[in-house]
Amino acid sequence: MTVNKECGLPAYIVLVFLVVGYLAWQWSETLGGAAGLSEKFGGMAPLVTIPLHLLLSATPFPSETIGVGNGALYGLWVGTLYGWLAWWGGSMLEYGIARRSVKPNSETLSIPLPRWLQSVPASSPLFLIVGRFVPLGYHAVNIAAGIKQVSLWRHTWCSLVSNLIYSFAMSSVGIGLISL
């Protein structure tokens, strides 16, 4: 997808965001992911895991381990709810950063997506929902939606729908791993 606007986000903000994401990911991994966080924080663990999951989902570092762990720890429905809130929040964070960092009348930014998806307008629900399920699509869709100035309402409901499906799937994986 080619976008006719330039990302005006200063490089140091991107670097800080990546460093914070990396440190958060390393911290969660040293504690043992969602299970380790649950053991360490007990009943207060969701107050740590949901914001951590949200932060990681808006960076290139894997957040799926927390989503799967939520399913394993809290069951299908509560795990899905926690993952859904976190992935939706991460979608909104990426969208908001991209939307606020656009400068009009700038050069072209290219986002790598499959050809069939590149032909779909960024404001289309097909792009905003299905696009999240292609490799790297989650991030590409959020960024493209922000850059293309897709309405907040449209991005929100499409993000809620697609992230519910993904969260349910990851929580199901967590339940499956426990049953093994």
Per-residue pLDDT tens digits for 71-116: 888 999 999 999 999 999 999 999 998 888 876 544 455 667 788 8
**Residue where the block lists tokens 């709810």:** 81
**Residue where the block lists tokens 């570092």:** 61
pLDDT for the residue numbered 155:
97
Q: pLDDT under 70 in the chain at which residues?
A: 1-14, 17, 103-111
pLDDT for the residue numbered 72:
87
pLDDT for the residue numbered 76:
93
**Residue where the block lists tokens 């493209």:** 144
pLDDT for the residue numbered 10:
59
pLDDT for the residue numbered 9:
55
pTM score: 0.81
pLDDT for the residue numbered 13:
65
pLDDT for the residue numbered 37:
77
Strands annotated E in 27-178: 102-103, 109-110
Tally the C-alpha atoms within 13 A of residue 151's C-alpha that lie toward its C-beta: 5
Q: Are the C-beta atoms of residues 121 and 113 closer than 8 Å to each other? A: no
pLDDT for the residue numbered 4:
42
